[in-house]
Amino acid sequence: MKIKSLTIRIIIFSSLLFIALLTGILVWFKDNFFFPTIVAAFVFIFSNYFYVKYTIDREFYDKVRTIYKNIYNYKVSKIDLKHRIKSSKIGLDDVKQEVSDWMDENVKQITNMIALEQYRKEYIGNVAHELKTPIFNIQGYVSTLLDGAMEDPHLTKKYLIRAEAGIDRLIAIVQDLDTITQLELDEVQLQITNFNIAQLIDELIDSFELKAFGRKVSLVFHNSEPAVVQADKSRIRQVLANLIENAIKYSKDENGEVRIKIFDMDDQYLIEVSDKGIGIEEKDIERVFERFYRTDKARSREYGGTGLGLAIVKHIIEAHNQTINVRSAIGQGTVFGFTLKKHVE
């Protein structure tokens, strides 16, 4: 109900009440006080109208103004508010709707903040875990050497090699974190060039051939046609290397297969890297690109890696204003696909 309608109803009710009272007086006194009574009636009606209107307007303005200040966090001009009310641009229903919208927006913000806080806690826990494992290993090897193992040259070399591996892992984690930070802050300047991505894939297959052979995984890529894209070649090499390496890691232990395909999508190319491995559970698919998130923590750490590879992949593709997606089913394998802009001569 709007303020104008509310005011009119109160005035009509008050006027009817006064007329009923005036009729009673006239019946009682007949015509003795007719003229003074009529004058009194008009004075009452007009004074009642302005009094009631002023009272309601003041209450309404002050309360609505307070609501608006709380919602929008700025001072609402009383003149502007009166103008909106008098012009029927806002009423109680409008205020109710705006308050409801404001509450919905704040509920969403609070929900997002809770989710971000949970992510922050998980992230800090994952960082601590990834860092403490190599640190404690290094500490153990050094302590053992200091406690007398240095007398044995063979054991000394063995522990120093393991300590060096732990140091290399720490360096890799720090470097990957630095890369993600630079990508998020847009501090990485992409060196966009035109290159044949099919040729790049052939080069990567050659470099991963030995690792794939060790796990009895075959690498399959059939693409005789050149596919020239506009992208940062070194960064796309990093993306493909990570996806191919992951596909080899999580393929079946024997007779596994990793396929790389290129699809022509008009002004883009879609590149897919698929495996016939263990797959990813549906609940984990949305989180595979999070930092340090591992779907199978035991197996992931068994094969090494920093837990940041897919997060970096996603940032690189998004830096190219392109998209990346993942499809997977338990026991059937996983497919990662990303797009790149096609070079048109």
Domain membership flag for residue 230? yes
Say what the pTM is: 0.61
3-state secondary structure of 52: helix
Show the domain range for 71: 3-90
Tell me the CATH number at 145.
Answer: 1.10.287.130
**Is pLDDT larger for residue 181 or for residue 217?**
217
In a domain, 32, yes or no: yes
257 and 134 within one domain? no
Domain finish residue from 43, 72, 90: 90
| Mean pLDDT calculated for residue range 88-102 | 63
pLDDT band at residue 88 under the 50/70/90 scheme? very low
Closest to 227 in 3D by CA, of 202, 192, 191, 264 = 264
Tell me, yes or no, whether 330 lies in a domain. yes
DSSP E strand boundaries for the chain? 192-196, 217-220, 228-232, 256-265, 268-275, 324-329, 333-341
Asked if residue 97 is part of any domain, the answer here is no
Q: Are residues 234 and 123 in the same domain?
A: no
Q: Are both 124 and 161 inside the same structural domain?
A: yes
Residue 90 pLDDT class (50, 70, 90 cuts): low
Residue 111 falls within a domain, yes or no? no
- Domain count across the chain: 3
Q: What pLDDT does 298 receive? A: 47
Same domain, residue pair 38 and 127: no
Residue 15: count other Cβ atoms within 10 Å of its Cβ.
Answer: 15
Confidence of residue 74 (pLDDT cuts 50, 70, 90): very low
Of the residues 135, 161, 184, which one is the last residue of a structural domain? 184
Does residue 261 sit in the same domain as residue 146?
A: no
What do you get for the CA distance between the two ends of the chain, in Å?
Answer: 65
**What pLDDT, on the 0 to 100 scale, is given for residue 285?**
85
Same domain, 218 and 307: yes
- DSSP 8-state secondary structure symbol assigned to residue 33: T
Average of per-residue pLDDT values in the chain? 76
283 token code pair? 């609940």
Q: What pLDDT score was predicted for residue 92? A: 56
Residue whose C-alpha is closest to residue 14's, from 36, 44, 40, 35: 44
- Does any domain span residue 114? no
Q: Are residues 30 and 170 in the same domain?
A: no
Are residues 245 and 305 both part of a single domain?
A: yes
166 contacts 134 by C-beta, under 8 angstroms: yes
Residue type, 247: A
Q: Do 314 and 205 belong together in one domain?
A: yes
133 plus 247 within the same structural domain: no
Same domain flag for 270 and 212 = yes
The reply to whether 98 falls in a domain is: no
Residue 314, in any domain of the structure: yes
Residues 243-277: tens digit of each pLDDT: 999 899 888 767 789 999 999 988 999 999 999 88
Is 252 in the same domain as 305?
yes
CATH of the domain at 210: 3.30.565.10
Residue recorded with tokens 């601590």? 128
**What is d(CA 135, CA 166) in angstroms, rounded to the nearest whole number?**
7
For residue 11, count other CB atoms closer than 10 A to its CB.
18
DSSP 151: G
Average pLDDT rounded to a whole number, residues 286-308: 65
Domain boundary among 70, 90, 110: 90
